[in-house]
Structure 1
Amino acid sequence: MVRKAIFQLEQADQLDAVSDRLQGIVQRVAKPKKLRDLLHGTWLGHPLHPVLVQAPVGAFMSAAVLDALPGQRRAATTLIAFGTAAAAPAIAAGWVDWSSLSRDQRRVGLVHASANAVALLLYGGSLAARFSGRHGLGKVLAYAGLSLAGGGAYLGGHLSYEQGAGMNQAAVELMQLPEDWAEVGEVSSLPEGKPTVRTIGDVRVLLYRLGDEVSAMIEHCGHQGGPLGEGDVEGSGADACVVCPWHGSTFRLVDGAVMHGPAAGDQPTLRTRVRDGVLSVATP
């Protein structure tokens, strides 16, 4: 029953008009690259949103326990106030991540965000009731908020683990490569200072040659699987970076380090070896 409802939500294209408009708003508000990188978690090497949600979730869960115990009104109220305030940065990071997802992912994400927004309003109402001395009503509203937030968390889990949002899409391709060295071809056939794509089995690999040194990374972008081989190159030499043509994630070619999001982690790289002018690659 639940799985069927989630599947229908993924296909609910009637949400796209609202989703597309909100996406445009979020991308305009978070236009500066430094702000986007901060909220995506590029500096952290891991998406920031799931880290930030621990604060409000922990506070709300703890408040629920204290509300069930005698003499803990003040402590529970303090935790709810903290959790409500701590939700703000988590919301900001979540919206920025959401704005760079595919349409079916954004549909689920939109309902996820809506459930959490209503839950936050219920917690705000709980605070107001507690401050006015209506602690019974405050508890009811808080438990209602926790229940709705639990539903939102379920959708967030589906978005991450079933739809792959926030996961490194390129990591799984490493498992498809042979563990032993695989020959790619003559180093001399690779252009100098310009990335090129070669295929090993079913895996596309992006190669970058500087003199006798060659670096290799998975060609499909870790963010959403975009073709890095079709992306623009910024800079030159050891500082050259490839920009994903889909969402703009930027990776340094010599080592796969992420320079700009929405990707939060580095692009998976391979070991390289040159013998008698022949390039071989292997898994890390």
Structure 2
Amino acid sequence: MKLLTRLEEARALDPVSDKIQSAVQAAVKPRTLRDLLHGTWLGHPLHPVMVQVPVGAFMSAAVLDLIPGRRKSATALIALGTATAGPAAVAGWLDWSQMTKDRRRVGLVHAAANLTAVGLYASSLIARLRGQSARGKALSYAGLSVAGVGAYLGGHLAYAQSAGTNQAAPEIVRLPEDWTVACSLASLPDRKTAVRKVADVPVLLYRDGDRVSALIERCAHETGPLGDGEVVGTGRDACVVCPWHGSTFRLSDGGVVHGPAASNQPVVPCRVREGQVEIRQP
């Protein structure tokens, strides 16, 4: 849609976006809390999981409002949805703060729509508790309509702009299906990363003695150059830190150790044969 394209290119939103980004990053500093909210421990972003509770509660309340005698149940569900929307939003804001500008523009409007929807639901809850049932229902259906707009924009972020997806995963299919020489073992520095291109795909190689591991070189979070990243730790626990946003991955198996990346770095099968390092698709 042209409207969404214009929104992606709406640089007028950047001053507000930049200020909110700085505020979010300043508010959530502990690394353990960041990893928790990014979903690093889960294997994918936490925000889409958390939004299922308020969305489910609001949708169920909309159905119950159509059934006579279900006023108390609908009110309880709206209270649940309103209470759980906040934690879901916190996780979403933190993910948003690490996105590119075009995604942040869409995300800003997505958040504004959801905030408006929650405000309408909170007003609906107050009206219901005061015995104003008709007003409460009208406000909740208005909230559901606005939430639908927010959900549409969230879908655009996820599916059209690939926000929160593993940005490195598509590179795997571009590698050769058969074992292909990437370089000689002797050309690789010991306990340091090196980048070699195979079928025009940058591959990150890490040598520890005679053992070599390989990962897609572009970071799963926002395609940062892992080849420029610092190596921390030793042995099987050696990790590479993305120079762009600090995502940290184990070099031995691609496991994500710290966010903002929420999924593992794609591993490339690797072997050493007759002094040559060979790789292929999984």
TM-score range relative to shorter protein? over 0.9
Paired residue type of 2:246: G
* Code of the aligned partner of 1:239: D
Counterpart-to-counterpart distance in 2, 1:276 and 1:11? 52
Distance in 2 between residues matched to 1:279 and 1:68, nearest whole Å: 66
Runs of 5+ in structure 2 lacking a partner? none
Which shows bigger deviation, 20-29 or 232-241? 232-241
Partner of 1:259: 257
- Cα distance in 1 for partners of 2:263, 2:75 equals 38
1:202, distance to aligned residue in structure 2 (A): 1.6
Segment of structure 1 superposing worse, 273-282 or 199-208? 273-282
Counterparts of 1:34 and 1:283 in 2: how far apart (Å)? 34
Aligned length: 282
- 1:234 equivalent in structure 2: 232
TM-score (norm 2): 0.99
Find 2:117's aligned residue among 119, 125, 146.
119
For 1:110-156, what per-residue CA distance to the aligned partner results, in whole angstroms no more than 9, with x for missing partners? 00000000000000000000000000000000000000000000000
1:269 aligned partner: 267
Deviations 1:25-56 (A, max 9, x none): 00011111101000000001111000000000
Structure 1 gaps of 5+ residues are none
Q: 1:37 aligns with which of 31, 35, 38?
A: 35
TM-score normalised to structure 1 length? 0.98
**Helix, strand or coil for the counterpart of 2:154?**
helix
Q: 2:183, 2:196 within 8 Å by CA — same for their partners in 1? A: no
**Equivalence map 1:43-192=2 (5 Å):** 43-192=41-190
**Alpha-carbon displacement from aligned partner over 1:230-279 (angstroms, at most 9, x marks no partner):** 11122223222111111111111111110100000000001111111111
Q: Quick one: distance in 2 between partners of 1:235 and 1:178?
A: 31
Looking at structure 2, the residues matched to 9 and 103 of structure 1 have their Cα atoms a distance apart, in angstroms, of 11
What is residue 249 of structure 1 aligned with on the other side?
247
Amino acid at match of 1:217: L
2:102, 2:274 → 1: CA distance?
49
Residue 204 of structure 1: how far off its partner (Å): 0.2
Task: Write out per-residue CA displacement over residues 192-234 of structure 1, whole angstroms, 9 at most, x where no aligned residue.
Answer: 0000000001200000001111000000001111110011122
Name the amino acid aligned to 1:58. G
- Cα distance in 1, alignment partners of residues 12 and 36 from structure 2: 32
Instruction: Give aligned-pair identity as a percent.
Output: 62
Question: Does the 8 A contact of 2:217 with 2:225 survive in 1?
Answer: yes
Rounded Cα–Cα distance in structure 2 between residues aligned with 1:81 and 1:238: 48
Letter in 2 for 1:150: G
Code of the aligned partner of 1:38: L
Distance 1:202 1:143 in 2: 52
SS in 2 for 1:175: helix
Q: 1:12 aligns with which of 10, 16, 19?
A: 10
Contact 2:185 2:275 in 1 (8 A): yes
In 2, Cα distance between equivalents of 1:225 and 1:186: 26
Instruction: Letter of the 1:157 partner, please give it.
Output: G
- Equivalent AA in structure 2 for residue 277 of structure 1: G
RMSD: 0.7
Q: What does 1:18-33 align with in structure 2 at a 5 Å threshold?
A: 18-33=16-31
Query: 4+ runs of 1 displaced by more than 6 Å?
Result: none
Letter in structure 2 aligned against 1:203: V
Residue of structure 2 equivalent to 1:280: 278
